[in-house]
Amino acid sequence: MAHVKRGMAAHAKHRKVLKLAKGFRGRSSTCFRPALERLEKAWQYAYRDRKAKKREMRSLWIQRINAAVRELGIKYSAFMNMLKNAKIAVDRKVLSKLAMENPDVFKEIVGKAKEASKKSGIA
């Protein structure tokens, strides 16, 4: 039976892991086993935080909309209700961007929502 050498494959795997672990502290950036453990943990954090990032962004959009709407004398929840009743379908991301970058357009949207809520007799 021929002798099988696997050193090259193992070395390539180790090199790949250590390349990914660059910048880690202590032995985690130079030794294979701790580097692999840290990498696995890092991937867990990355997976978890990709989900958390979406929640954080939505929260930020809501805060921005709330701040912009309060300047116009309305509460966030009342404003969202007005939008729904006026059948204005604009998501929070776009509303937040409008409030920040185009306050005039945002005021128009608020005005239309107010008009629609007055016509329907809600607010």
Tens of pLDDT, residues 41-54: 999 999 999 999 99
Three-state secondary structure of 4-52: CCCHHHHHHHHHHHHHHCCCCCHHHHCCHHHHHHHHHHHHHHHHHHHHH
The per-residue pLDDT of the chain, averaged, comes to 93
Q: How much is the pLDDT for 4?
A: 79
What is the dihedral sign for C-alpha 75, 67, 84, 55?
negative
Phi, psi of 94 (to 5 degrees): -70, -45
Q: How much is the pLDDT for 121?
A: 67
pLDDT in tens, 4-14: 777 898 999 99
pLDDT in tens, 50-78: 999 999 999 999 999 999 999 999 999 99
Which token pair is 31? 């030794």
Domain range 7-120, its CATH number among 3.40.718.10, 3.30.1490.20, 3.50.50.60, 1.10.1900.20? 1.10.1900.20
- Give the type of residue at 14: H
